[in-house]
Structure 1
Amino acid sequence: MDQEREIIVGMKQRVMMVALFAVITSPVCAAKLSGPARILDGNTIEIEQSKLRLSGIEAPETDQICLDAHGRKWACGIAARDELIKHSNGRTWDCHTTGGDEYGRSGGSCFIEGEDVSAWMVRSGWALSSDPSTHTYVIYEVVASKAHAGLWSGAFIAPWDWRRGNKGTIIIGASSVPIDARELLLGSALLSDPPSSECLIKGAVDRNGERIYHLPGQLSYEQLDMTKKPGERWLCSEAEAEATGWRKAAR
């Protein structure tokens, strides 16, 4: 009797999961967007006032620093964003969106004149495949690494590791990794200066776990030491900050 009850319960759960999957993947939850894109970072765009995160890839954060072929630091996150802006060049994007993330962005696959933008980002070395298990874009990583393109021109940290950098973080690259790469990319002094003169907004996580950004001129801005707390970020615009889950400081 107990076994029969377990089978019935299991069948009900399976039916509920199938129904839920049908709702999630139904056209009601999906949308199509078309038009010129405003590029906020290498992962995030805005079309028709809708914010969208490119699916299947991870581009470097705008404050991310990489090392070039000579072991010198460069603002690879800014470069990735700017290369996507140049590639877009005001052309029309066609995006198919589904679901959303904790920051209110839809996920989506986007195309410019039929070309998969995510594939272009990985193939050009400006992003990594975010889900190697699907093998969707992994082959393009191989192409980019062999060509020493973009991030692969030197050494860098995978974007998901950059956000939580610690002693266990792996430094990767197409060829050799400089012996001092870890100190250069994870050293305590790294965040003391912005990666670019345009990225002057300070982002910090408060004691409640809320992501707060502080603008130059605000009282809190001068009080915030960017080398003291984990999770601190330099941000390049209020639009980028708000699209990635940051709230403006009250003062």
Structure 2
Amino acid sequence: MRQAAFALLFCCVATYGAAGVAGRIDVVDGDTLRIAGEKVRLFGIDAPELGQSCQDENGEIWSCGHWVRDALRQAFQGRYARCVEEDRDRYGRSVARCEVAGVDLGGWLVERGMAFAYRKYSMIYDLTEKGAVVSGRGLHKSRVQAPAAFRAARAKPAQAAPEGGCQIKGNISSKGVRIYHVQGQEHYERTRISAQKGERWFCSEAEAVAAGWRRARR
């Protein structure tokens, strides 16, 4: 029935226009496609940004944003998609649900743990994500910052490191715990160093540990 509804919609819209778009897929990132010359943001999901890193169970930092994009490309690049527009975002992009041969791309990503249900805008993938979490699939095996939080932190002006190139942030928590953050960790970008509070920059992890700081868990 659902596939029939898709077919009926597209047969009745000659140019698709505001109702949607159809054509070959060019994957831009984990939740954005280019179809027939138009950028399409997949509705109801949020995937890691290309510049976003995650931390695996061994503490290793890896490029999860590129991983999702590459997996989506491998599965769907160049294939024919039909998309039904749900909205337009502030950048003018079509926000749509897209299918390839009956496969809902948003659901495909969330089911495999490659994207999150974007509950701020829709609950359609809520149960799908919960299944991925329980099974520990994809991103749910790693520590990952919510993409929306990552974008918000990146939009803030970065705190300039002191001269000498020391990039490790030695932060003191509200409970007085001394924690250091390295680039790529979840809270690195939004952590601000205040010398007045006794916080400081470090040039190496060994230096931070010797001074009594411990590494942030994520």
TM-score interval, smaller chain: 0.5 to 0.7
Paired position in structure 1 for 2:187: 186
Q: Which runs of 5+ in 2 are unaligned?
A: 1-12, 155-178, 192-218
Is 1:50 aligned to 2:38, yes or no? yes
Distance 1:157 1:181 in 2: 17
Distance 1:99 1:82 in 2: 26
CA spacing shift, 1:86–1:109, aligned 2, 3 Å: same
Paired position in structure 1 for 2:118: 130
Is 1:62 aligned to 2:63, yes or no? no
Distance 1:82 1:128 in 2: 17
Paired position in structure 2 for 1:110: 98
Given the alignment, which residue of 136, 144, 152 partners 1:156?
A: 144
Query: 1:113 offset after TM fit, Å?
Result: 0.6
How many residue pairs were aligned? 151
Which SS does the other structure have where 1:155 is aligned?
coil
Distance 1:100 1:136 in 2: 18
Cα deviation, 1:89-113, whole Å, max 9, x if unaligned, reads 4321111124422212111110011
Query: 1:150 offset after TM fit, Å?
Result: 1.5
Distance 2:189 2:128 in 1: 33
Distance 2:180 2:108 in 1: 27
Paired position in structure 2 for 1:219: none
Distance 1:81 1:69 in 2: 21
Cα deviation, 1:127-151, whole Å, max 9, x if unaligned, reads 1111267431011111211222211
Contact 2:24 2:81 in 1 (8 A): yes
Paired position in structure 2 for 1:39: 27
Q: Which runs of 5+ in 1 are unaligned?
A: 1-26, 167-179, 191-251
Given the alignment, which residue of 43, 68, 73 partners 1:85?
A: 73
Distance 2:71 2:83 in 1: 19
CA spacing shift, 1:98–1:140, aligned 2, 3 Å: closer
Contact 1:132 1:138 in 2 (8 A): no
Query: 1:70 offset after TM fit, Å?
Result: 1.1
What are the equivalent positions in structure 2 for 1:187-206 lying under 5 Å apart? Answer: 187=188
Query: 1:32 offset after TM fit, Å?
Result: 3.0
Cα deviation, 1:161-213, whole Å, max 9, x if unaligned, reads 111239xxxxxxxxxxxxx89652232599xxxxxxxxxxxxxxxxxxxxxxx
Contact 1:33 1:94 in 2 (8 A): yes
> What is the identity, as a one-letter code, of the residue corresponding to 2:22?
S
Distance 2:180 2:130 in 1: 22
Cα deviation, 1:216-246, whole Å, max 9, x if unaligned, reads xxxxxxxxxxxxxxxxxxxxxxxxxxxxxxx
> Normalization by structure 2: what TM-score?
0.62
Paired position in structure 1 for 2:134: 146
**Superposition CA RMSD, Å:** 2.7
Contact 2:20 2:96 in 1 (8 A): no
Query: 1:75 offset after TM fit, Å?
Result: 0.3
Contact 1:30 1:99 in 2 (8 A): no
Distance 1:134 1:43 in 2: 15
CA spacing shift, 1:133–1:96, aligned 2, 3 Å: closer
Distance 1:31 1:57 in 2: 20
Contact 2:51 2:65 in 1 (8 A): yes
CA spacing shift, 1:124–1:162, aligned 2, 3 Å: same
> Normalization by structure 1: what TM-score?
0.54
Structure with a larger share of its residues in helix: 1
Which SS does the other structure have where 2:152 is aligned?
coil
